[in-house]
A and B are shown apart, each in its own frame.
Chain A
Amino acid sequence: QVQLVQSGAEVKKPGASVKVSCKASGYTFTGSYIHWVRQAPGQGLEWMGSINPKSGGTNFAQKFQGKVTLTRDTSITTAYLELNSLTSDDTAMYFCAKESGDLILIDWGQGTLVSVSS
């Protein structure tokens, strides 16, 4: 069965960077895009971007261009989200999700809480 297992919670200071991982199993990693979605406390879902694990090609929401780096390591079937220049506004739960078709996100990671505080 498909599983996406994300790395654990992070606490960072303003200005720092953070890298969240999403370990995929149960399917062909290079066959499906991985999307990243964030949710600030008490707020809605926000699409951040996606990566094609086969080519490494990425697509970002305008808001996150320059702020976010998406990478992958096909040898260990893991996708990564890196956020730089963290501020308190980046405090949120970050989810990865596997695309099964356009707008079809059936399989999700458990989420990684990133807290930014001085």
Chain B
Amino acid sequence: SSELTQDPAVSVALGQTVRITCQGDSLRRYYASWFQQKPGQAPILVVYGRNDRPSGIPDRFSGSRSGNTASLTISGAQAEDEADYFCHSRDSSGLQYVFGTGTQVTVL
């Protein structure tokens, strides 16, 4: 079982803001990265580190961390943001890596 826990599913109205959370003890020491994955595709990194985005990722994606919780916020969600989102960080030992359980985001 994953050491990083996410809500299974969230929905957001078009143009509104949604926050996806990821909980785990290791997040008190390590940042999380966030990946977007659409059916049949490889994951895409959308946020990493304190709050950085790879080239080409819209600035409506942002990340934050507080205590044992990392969050990905989509501000002004678009239809194309409908996807599964996974957090990714180190495990509690700090020696290996782990993905969160994943959150399915539906844009209404």
Contacts and interface: CB of A to CB of B under 8 A. Distances in A.
Interface of A: 35, 37, 44-47, 50, 59-62, 95, 101, 103-106, 108-111
A48 to B, nearest CB: 9
B101 A44 contact: yes
Chain B, interface size: which category? 20 to 34
Contacts of B35: 45, 105
Q: Which 4 A-B pairs have the closest CB atoms?
A: A108-B42, A44-B102, A45-B99, A103-B33
B89 A45 contact: no
Interface of B: 2, 30-33, 35, 37, 42-43, 45, 48-49, 54, 84, 86, 88-90, 95-102
Contact of A47 (B48, B49, B97): B97
Contacts of B95: 59
A104 B38 CA distance: 19
Given A37-B99, A103-B97, A105-B33, A47 B88 contact: yes
Contacts of A60: 96
6 contacts: A35-B97, A44-B84, A47-B97, A61-B98, A62-B96, A104-B49
Contacts of B2: 44
